[in-house]
Chain A
Amino acid sequence: MLTTISSSTIFFISLLLFGIGAVGSLVLAKSDKWANVAGSVFAVSGSISGLVSSLSVLIKNSVFSFNFDLLAPLLSVSFRVDRLSAFFIFVISLIALVASIYSLGYVKHFYNKYNIGALGFFYNLFLAGMLMVVSAHNAIFFLVVWETMSLASFFLVIFENKEKSNLRAGYLYFIMTHIGTAFIIMAFLLLYRSTGSFDFTVIKNSMGEVSLLVKNLVFVLALIGFGTKAGIIPVHIWLPRAHSAAPTHVSALMSGVMIKTGIYMFIRIFMDMMTGIPVWWGVVVLVIGSVSSLLGVLYALTEHDIKRLLAYHSIENIGIILLGLGSSLVFWASDMKSLAVLGLVASLFHTLNHATFKALLFMGAGSVISQTHTRNMEEYGGLIKHMPQTAFFFLVGAMAISALPPFNGFFSEWATFQSLFYGIKSLSVSVQWVFLLGAGSLAFTGGLAAACFVKAFGAIFLARPRSEEAKHAKESAVTLRIAMAILAALTLVIGFFASYITSVLATVASSVRALGFAEPVFSSAAGAFSLKDGFATVSMPTILFSIVAALVLAWIVLKIINRQAKIKIERTWDCGTNLNGRMEITATGFSRSIITVFRGLLKPTKQTDVEYHDADMRYFAKSSAVHLGIEDIYLNNLYKPLQALVARLAAHVRKIQLGNLNVYVLYIFLTLFALLILLAF
């Protein structure tokens, strides 16, 4: 099939299928069931053809492009799928495929409550939007599809519109994403001014004429603009709110892949279009990566809303991806292209890995939410007995994201560490410290992520139930479990074949113009991934096999030593009281000690409400409640002052708004006059 139909045709078939899915679910909106089936089935088939087309590009290395000029002068519908685009299309289609299988069963609990037709429409539009974002090759067209993706995801965030908090989250997302877009537009306009084109290839080829100042400006603008989508700190504030508000299969896509479109554009602009970049770009990206990864995981620890916890982990993982990307930028700017390949491969690998395990974790969370109808982890507990399969899949995801061997998360963190180590040992003193900082924050991030997922898994699935819903939970629908099983298997398989995948990713990474097909510093043979100078080696299959072998050995030895051991089932030792669900440790209690350690950064708050029997005699409390939380330092110290400033400026601007038509005509005339004068020079 691959030989008869070209990969470009398959790519457009995939877009077409999403289109049919979108329209189809609107047409069938009368019946919830059929709208869901149409939306999901076409999304599944669209994702499959997306997968096929991206794989054929990656394997056959056949770049394809498509150009169609519209009547509008600057807007041309222009696609180009090279290896970098194909890699991102692969990741998006992979997660979209699993999420669409998941949605078949998951959307059922929205029946008769919300408009399923609209969900299917925006869902398919969102998927098509993401695919076009990573393949668009013209800045104006890019902005159109970027907005399509953002707006479709906005409507998905406010899908459950009967809850006030979701509307607020959606509104914040709407504002933040458009602030981001404003920066992106400025970046493209600057590039247009220097190169005279919106076409990516033309921009790329005339990069030599662009002055360093413009390049630096474009860097900063793109960093803020695309960073807002990627969720770097401090422009992350929309992310935990919006990702937790959206329906779960959409959260999985937003957290797993949508934020990666920001990473894609970082690579596209910084490493494919730009030339001759200064070292400080990479340094800035490394610092942002360190801060985002460390703070992201710390904020995740403070959460007891399961989806917000996962959303904060996305910030952490974007930080880890940026550590790889930043080191790659520094290496490239220092003219060490072989090392830059290592950094970029680590970054791409973590992009793939984070997509798989984050989608898995969101789906596990969604499966739990569909049974307990709450996102509050304090109201779960003991679910492993009622939902054993969900629990198992969630545990796999938790281990993968905590970078524990033998799963895939370990390998990409290992590779990121190596690229940071190479920075420490082979660069000059002026940048070594940043790599040291990056390695330090990555080391702490790994430990803290493990702590956070012990907390999450323990609070959700272990011990005794803490609410009636948790007591009567049942295993979720079969499509949900199939979706999770696929992803859980993928985390292990990707980990197992890590060294093979790195050799594919190396071709992707070295195909960006910056790296010019440089020979990477690593090699992979027989399942082992090693750095060519013998600095370090890791073999994921060996790790897996030795763990399995040691487990089997321990089990056999114990069986031999103690053949007739009996196991008695008894109550947990309870000091004579009856243990109930309220006595076990909670998610808040679990992480409180870490929060106390980092109180300087997190600013924990504690509010005690006591109600007395007699207000005058404060001895006998009727009820007392303690609220533990953390201060939102970004809202209080950055966004609120900014908002106040904008409001003050707006008040001044209002003075020219007189309400008199003649004055407005004068304004128009003056503007025209000023423009004409400007044109004359």
Chain B
Amino acid sequence: MTSIIIWTIQLALVPALSPLFVGVIRKIKARFQNRVGASIFQPYNDLWKLLHKDEVISEDASWVFRFAPYIIFAVTVIVGASIPLFATVFANNSLSDLLVIVYLLALSTFFLALAGMDTGSAFGGFGSSREMTVASLTEGGLIFSMLALVFAVDSANLFKISEAVSAFPLVAMMPIMLAFAGFLIAMLAETARFPFDNPATHLELTMIHEAMILEYSGKRLALVEWAAANKLLIFLALGANLFFPWGIATTVGLMPILAALGWFVIKVLLLSLLIAVLESSIAKFRFFRLPDLLFTSFILSVIAISLIIFI
């Protein structure tokens, strides 16, 4: 019985909470700009509204455009259920392998970029081109930053990483912090945040993610937006629970699970605060400066791995 409950929590937590953290980041950014800002629950209202609207679909679009939101959303739900969120007791989940997660997310990027090209607007096409440029260069940093942890604990299972890292002495955390810096850069790129992309406007010069989804409306737009929120929470959770896995429950029980959920929310809130502060204090980079940043992420991760395997 308990296992059914915690499995349900594990499956539903990411899609259920993801709009909340989008709202939180927006709220913090609004406060930085001296605005009151919308309620942190506004993204839920937006989704609900979009889900009930009719749709307009381009006459040039094919089934790829219609199908893409489903696969994008489905993938984020699967990945959200396969990463450590609050407990490490799901280690026998064969989907929680580092590479499986990364390539599943690549599957959603692949379809999103195809959907961007499908309507034949110049804007969408360039969004796809930029997205694939950034995504292909991010992959190295993303895999390698988490790979540092894999070598530190000798397992590619994300739950086992979480469990092992939480027992690490503080001294051993040095290279892991380096890998976290690499991960942070990759995370900002993957979730279309500053300095890679501006999640708040539809300005032609800056857009990556918003350009691709411009032609979506109604329930498909809701799915895409929801999936983007899921992806953000997935990365926040990975950052919080792989690199700072303190407070994660290693046993099953009401109190440990509740405490772990609390810890999870606190850690993710802190990371959200970090993103909001970053977004409020730095400018977006010029597109061709982004690769430098992404290679930096890769190099930082390589250094972290070297420190771990050579010492």
Residue contact B144 to A443, C-beta cutoff 8 Å? yes
Selected from B56, B110, B120, B218, the residue in CB contact (under 8 A) with A454 is B110
Residue contact B74 to A551, C-beta cutoff 8 Å? yes
| Segment at the A interface, from B16-24, B123-131, B168-176, B259-267 | B123-131
Residue contact B95 to A567, C-beta cutoff 8 Å? no
A584 to B129, CA, bound (A): 12
13 A-B interface contacts by CB (under 8 A)? A404-B110, A443-B140, A447-B106, A462-B118, A542-B94, A558-B219, A561-B52, A567-B54, A569-B59, A583-B121, A584-B120, A584-B121, A590-B129
In B31-60, the 8 Å CB interface with A consists of: 51-60
Residue contact B100 to A447, C-beta cutoff 8 Å? no
A583 to B117, CA, bound (A): 12
Residues of A within 8 A of B139 (CB): 443-444, 446-447
Residues of B within 8 A of A421 (CB): 147, 150-151, 156
Residues of A within 8 A of B107 (CB): 399, 404-405
Given A562-B51, A584-B120, are A410 and B309 also a contact pair (CB < 8 Å)? no
A591 to B131, CA, bound (A): 11
Residue contact A543 to B100, C-beta cutoff 8 Å? yes
| Segment at the B interface, from A53-61, A94-102, A206-214, A572-580 | A572-580
A382 to B125, CA, bound (A): 14
Residues of B within 8 A of A573 (CB): 121, 214-215
Residue contact A535 to B154, C-beta cutoff 8 Å? yes
Residues of B within 8 A of A533 (CB): 154
A426 to B97, CA, bound (A): 20
A391 to B64, CA, bound (A): 10
Residue contact A594 to B136, C-beta cutoff 8 Å? yes
Contact residues of A: prevailing secondary structure = helix
In B66-83, the 8 Å CB interface with A consists of: 70-71, 73-75, 77-78
Residue contact A450 to B302, C-beta cutoff 8 Å? no
Residue among A432, A454, A537, A561 facing the most chain B CB atoms (10 A cut-off): A454
A213 to B214, CA, bound (A): 64
Chain A interface residue number, banded: 35 or more
A439 to B75, CA, bound (A): 25
Binary contact readout A416-437 vs B (1 if CB under 8 angstroms, 0 otherwise):
0100010011000100100010
Q: Tell me whether A402 is interfacial, beta carbon within 8 Å.
A: yes
Residue contact B75 to A547, C-beta cutoff 8 Å? yes
Q: Tell me whether A201 is interfacial, beta carbon within 8 Å.
A: no
Q: Tell me whether A451 is interfacial, beta carbon within 8 Å.
A: yes
Residue contact B223 to A554, C-beta cutoff 8 Å? yes
Residues of B within 8 A of A424 (CB): 151, 305, 309
A567 to B122, CA, bound (A): 23
Residue contact A554 to B288, C-beta cutoff 8 Å? no
Residue of B nearest to A548 (CB): B74
Residue of A nearest to B77 (CB): A550
Residue contact A444 to B136, C-beta cutoff 8 Å? yes
Residues of B within 8 A of A574 (CB): 121
Q: Tell me whether B246 is interfacial, beta carbon within 8 Å.
A: no
Residues of A within 8 A of B244 (CB): none
Given A538-B97, A562-B52, A567-B55, are A443 and B143 also a contact pair (CB < 8 Å)? yes
Residue among A432, A440, A542, A597 facing the most chain B CB atoms (10 A cut-off): A597
In A78-137, the 8 Å CB interface with B consists of: none
Residue contact A444 to B137, C-beta cutoff 8 Å? yes
Residue contact A555 to B120, C-beta cutoff 8 Å? no
Residues of A within 8 A of B120 (CB): 381-382, 462-464, 572, 579, 581, 583-584
Residue contact A534 to B155, C-beta cutoff 8 Å? yes
Residue contact B114 to A462, C-beta cutoff 8 Å? yes
A462 to B128, CA, bound (A): 13
A436 to B66, CA, bound (A): 40
* Ranked 6 nearest A-B pairs via Cβ: A585-B125, A463-B120, A447-B136, A447-B139, A550-B74, A458-B117
A455 to B135, CA, bound (A): 13
Residue contact A536 to B54, C-beta cutoff 8 Å? no
Q: Tell me whether A673 is interfacial, beta carbon within 8 Å.
A: no
Residue contact A558 to B51, C-beta cutoff 8 Å? yes
Selected from A404, A454, A546, the residue in CB contact (under 8 A) with B132 is A454
Residues of B within 8 A of A568 (CB): 54-57
In whole Å, how far is A523's beta carbon from the nearest beta carbon of chain B? 13
Given A458-B125, A542-B95, A597-B133, are A385 and B62 also a contact pair (CB < 8 Å)? yes
Residue contact A584 to B122, C-beta cutoff 8 Å? yes
Selected from A436, A569, A591, the residue in CB contact (under 8 A) with B302 is A436
A444 to B52, CA, bound (A): 41
Residue contact B219 to A571, C-beta cutoff 8 Å? no
In whole Å, how far is A589's beta carbon from the nearest beta carbon of chain B? 7
Residue contact A432 to B309, C-beta cutoff 8 Å? yes
Q: Tell me whether A151 is interfacial, beta carbon within 8 Å.
A: no
Given A447-B106, A451-B132, are A585 and B126 also a contact pair (CB < 8 Å)? yes
Q: Tell me whether A448 is interfacial, beta carbon within 8 Å.
A: yes
Residues of A within 8 A of B56 (CB): 567-570
In whole Å, how far is A377's beta carbon from the nearest beta carbon of chain B? 13
Selected from A432, A464, A572, the residue in CB contact (under 8 A) with B215 is A572
Selected from A384, A403, A537, the residue in CB contact (under 8 A) with B94 is A537
Residues of B within 8 A of A583 (CB): 120-122
Q: Tell me whether B291 is interfacial, beta carbon within 8 Å.
A: yes
A457 to B64, CA, bound (A): 11
Residue contact B121 to A590, C-beta cutoff 8 Å? no
Residues of B within 8 A of A597 (CB): 133, 137, 288, 291
Q: Tell me whether A28 is interfacial, beta carbon within 8 Å.
A: no
A542 to B104, CA, bound (A): 13
Residues of B within 8 A of A459 (CB): 117
Residues of A within 8 A of B103 (CB): 403-405, 410, 414, 446
Q: Tell me whether B272 is interfacial, beta carbon within 8 Å.
A: no
